[in-house]
Amino acid sequence: MRRALAGAVHLPRLLAIPALRGHREHSTLISAATYSPWRVDADFLAVYDVVADSTLLDEMRLYELWRLAGQVGGLGGDAIEVGCWRGGAGCLVARRVAGHSPGARTFLCDTFAGVVKAGAHDPTYVGGEHADASADGVRALARRLGLDSVEVLEGVFPEDTGPAVADRRFSFVHMDLDVYQGSRDAFAWLRPRLLVGAVVVFDDYGFALTGGARTFVDELEGDPDFVIVHNLNGHAVVVRRAATATVADAPAGGPPS
């Protein structure tokens, strides 16, 4: 039923509404592209059906995470999600990583007390939102998927939980922190630990409620170390193309081994 509803509205039906003809506002116009591989990818759908009630992401964004996490498997390194809520997206990523990178681990980080570090850059968040989740709930979801490669880190990242992964290198990162300062702090800490070719997906880029996260990603424009792609699904995808920073530049944690 969920998949049927997701595919129920298409561009021709929207353009049949006179008020929308010629309208190009992203928030109301669905792309004319009709290729929707997430609807026929049996492996993805099997995992999606388990995690769908534990994530706020739609099928399109989840499928992008699924595909990208599979494409960086040859780099080595681990995966990390900062801001995992109930673990749906993170466990989906972990399942994909486990299938392509045996031995890799996926770290799912959250305060489990709601959003922190909201500030002047954030148009709607004030702090404490999305507190309706627990570390035990995320661990239970990982067990349902048969994942023994998932580690849940509870606390503010990186101040509280960064030391637990200070010796890790990462090939895939999902950032879902909603706010400017949280995104900035987490990315600064992770930056010297990103492998060349690593992918960082910012979930919050394209949404009005999370303008602070978008402001931070926009600040990365022109940085020679990264390629940035802004997708119409709301994601910003940042790819590391050079490794000029060192772990000594990171704000916390010891050097990788």
216: pLDDT strictly greater than 50: yes
156-186 pLDDT, tens digit per residue, is 999 999 999 999 999 999 999 999 999 999 9
Q: Please give the mean pLDDT across all residues of the chain.
A: 86
Would you say how long the chain is, in residues? Answer: 257
The pLDDT score that the predictor gives to residue 120 is: 94
pLDDT digits 0-9 by tens, 56-112 = 999 999 999 999 999 998 999 999 999 999 999 999 999 999 999 889 999 999 999
pLDDT reading at 257 higher than 90 = no
pTM attached to this predicted model: 0.84
pLDDT number for residue 32:
77
Beta strand pairing status for 194-202 and 236-240?
antiparallel
Whether pLDDT at 5 is above 80: no
Domains of the chain listed by start with CATH number: 1-34 (no CATH), 41-249 (3.40.50.150)
Rounded CA-CA distance 117/19 in Å is 40
Per-residue pLDDT of 100-156, as tens digits, reads: 988 999 999 999 999 999 999 999 999 999 999 999 999 999 999 999 999 999 999
Residues 20-45: tens digit of each pLDDT? 344 344 455 556 778 899 999 999 99
- Give me the pLDDT at residue 233, please: 87
CA-nearest of 87, 96, 120, 88 to 212 is: 120
State residue 96's pLDDT score.
97
What stretch of H or E contains 201?
A: strand 194-202
Q: What is the pLDDT of residue 207?
A: 84
Contact of 85 with 115, CB cutoff 8 Å:
no
Residue-wise pLDDT for 197-207, tens only, equals 999 999 989 88
Selection from 160, 182, 208 nearest residue 28 by Cα: 208
Rounded to an integer, what distance in angstroms lies between the CA atom of residue 237 and that of residue 227? 8
Q: How far apart are CA 76 and CA 5, in angstroms?
A: 38
**Banded pLDDT at 15 (limits 50, 70, 90):** very low
Q: Quick one: pLDDT band at residue 242, thresholds 50, 70, 90?
A: confident
Q: Is residue 227 pLDDT above 80, yes or no?
A: yes
